[in-house]
Chain A
Amino acid sequence: MVDKIDVIILTGRTLQQGIGLEVGKVSEEYSKSVNYAEISRGDSRALGLTNSSPVEVTTARGKVVLYGRISETLSPGLIFVPYGPWINQVLGPDTCCTGTPQLKGVPAELELAEGKRVPTLLDLVKVMRGT
């Protein structure tokens, strides 16, 4: 068992995220569709992760707590998080003069977040407001 693992963040669309956002951003369907990270079976075992327990993702830009989901298809060293305000807490705004921030292939550290809570959408709005 290890405390932390170096990973690369991949983001993207999912069917459930599409369904959730069309119900509404304040719906439970939406939050559930984007507030998790898929983690490979190998990395999950190394960390001692059980399905749906919280994990913390840390990049040069910040930290966010997400639900961990064990993936049978993802390669070790990669995590997948659907696009949304949760993962945007730790992605940077540098666009390299293109207008597009780097939302995929971002290095991060992954660790278990026992005792920490996955933020709600309202928590994230408060963070944005600085309140």
Chain B
Amino acid sequence: MATYSDVICPFCGCLCDDIEITVENNKVVNTKNSCAISRSKFIKNDWGRIIFPTINGEPAPYEKAIEEAVKILSSARRPLVYGLSKTDNEAIREAIHLTELVGGVIDSTTTVCHGASIIAMQNTGVATTTLGEVKNRADLIVFWGSNPAEAHPRHFQRYSVTPKGKYTPNGRSGRYIVVVDVRETRSSKLADQFIRITPNSDFDVLQALRALVRGQKLSVGEVGGVQINILEELADRMKGAKVGCVFYGLGLNQSEGRHMNVDAMYSLVSELNHHTKFACNPMRGCFNVTGANMVTTWQTGYPFAVDFSRGYPRYNPGEYTAVDLLAREEVDAALIMGSDPASTFPLEAARHLSKIPVVTLERKETPTSMISKVVIPVATSGIETDGTAYRMDYVPLKLRKVVDPPQGVFSDAVVLRDIIERIKALEVDSI
């Protein structure tokens, strides 16, 4: 039996780095400090694993599966490489290299989570901060359209609500917590103030708040279902905070208005910085979706939705984003890794995946693996492999391997490198 301390949890964007893992006979048998989801990820790591590659649902040797993947990707006219967010930066780098080689399009799960937020960031600029700064300095926290008690279960405890920091010695009692959402949630129950807004009214409420922060008087009684005096009080509270931070979720950018809602949020925060120190961070879901954006930006200059069909990177959300490409039936092959788009995309987009040859790198059976021509099992990033990942506040951290992967199962990066080497060899042969 071996015990590992300070292990990083590879579930959500919090990347909690204080997990204690006990391993017996190459299996995680206990965890400490982990949330219920993290515990499920570690303890059930070996449940239902894919342990050999398949082609058309039939078992195949690894080499044969790689060959088939090479054939699919190198013969496609417009291949899509999609996912990236549940793997490490090293694998993401290889995925970008592969996409460039085959002249494809690469996109990450960002596209169905904070993609619209990134478009807004590019419009407005961002006032960002680290979670350490929040813990040590922030006395006002606003959760807008986010429900960390269910999606990021230890965010409250480690970073934003209860921890005692250098300039926040009283912990929970020294912070005022506001939740703005369209429904009551586990998070709203823990807040000092819950403001319920009407669905699809985020833009209106944020613009009203922005006007109030600028000192303007509004001649209406309510906006988005919220009485104006409540918004006036919130505007004053925000201006009066020593340090404030908004953590916003998908309630903003998956509703009507998409990026314009987030644009309004960043504009409000920009306005608040005329009065005090205020920051704004998205609550990122998959553990390395931030890494997917960061690595794609180093390598191509763009954070997601990158097209290499002309031999150089081009960026255009709506045109090179995975849901749009699939719904328009533009792509003729796909490599999926670190995600399950057949589950997470609207049916009309996911359906095209069942009509084209798909290569999936996956740990466990999913609807995407079920409709794939080639499935290659991979190691669990952050449990069975080392590597690096970005926390939701853009801080890179080193993941730690605590158990070995099943025999004959390799990391995403190794599998991608094997595909890349063979595609390069094809190109040499064809010269």
The residues of A with any CB-CB pair to B shorter than 8 Å are 8, 10-15, 18-20, 22-27, 61-62, 73-75, 78, 80, 83-85, 88-105, 121, 124-125, 127-130
| Interchain CB contact under 8 A, A88 and B350 | yes
| Contact residues in A for B371 (Cβ distance below 8 Å) | 125, 128-129
B406 proximal to A (CB < 8 A): no
| Contact residues in A for B255 (Cβ distance below 8 Å) | 102, 104-105
| Interchain CB contact under 8 A, B182 and A78 | yes
| Contact residues in A for B190 (Cβ distance below 8 Å) | none
Please tell me which one of the listed residues A8, A24, A94 contacts residue B199 in the complex, with CB atoms under 8 A apart. A8
Please tell me which one of the listed residues B48, B250, B251, B324 contacts residue A95 in the complex, with CB atoms under 8 A apart. B324
Contact A100:B183 (CB < 8 A) given known A18-B151, A24-B48, A125-B370: no
Q: Which residues of chain B (340-387) have a CB below 8 Å from chain A? A: 340, 342-351, 353-354, 364-367, 370-371
Contact A12:B147 (CB < 8 A) given known A23-B47, A104-B250: yes
Docked pose: A109 CA to B430 CA in angstroms? 57
Of B36-44, B206-214, B330-338, the segment with at least 4 beta carbons within 8 Å of chain A is B36-44
**Closest chain B residue, CB of each to CB of A40:** B183
| Interchain CB contact under 8 A, A93 and B323 | yes
**Closest chain B residue, CB of each to CB of A62:** B347
| Contact residues in A for B116 (Cβ distance below 8 Å) | 98-100
| Interchain CB contact under 8 A, A98 and B365 | no
Q: Which residues of chain B (20-52) have a CB below 8 Å from chain A? A: 36-37, 40-41, 44, 47-48
B126 proximal to A (CB < 8 A): no
| Interchain CB contact under 8 A, A128 and B347 | yes
B317 proximal to A (CB < 8 A): yes
| Contact residues in A for B111 (Cβ distance below 8 Å) | 99-100
| Interchain CB contact under 8 A, B365 and A12 | no
| Interchain CB contact under 8 A, A15 and B150 | yes
Docked pose: A27 CA to B43 CA in angstroms? 15
| Interchain CB contact under 8 A, B349 and A101 | yes
B168-211 Cβ-contact flags toward A at 8 Å (1 or 0): 00000000000000111010000000001001100000000000
Docked pose: A70 CA to B309 CA in angstroms? 50
B101 proximal to A (CB < 8 A): no
Docked pose: A125 CA to B340 CA in angstroms? 12
Contact A26:B48 (CB < 8 A) given known A13-B285, A73-B183: yes
| Interchain CB contact under 8 A, B285 and A26 | no
B309-335 Cβ-contact flags toward A at 8 Å (1 or 0): 000000001110111101100000000
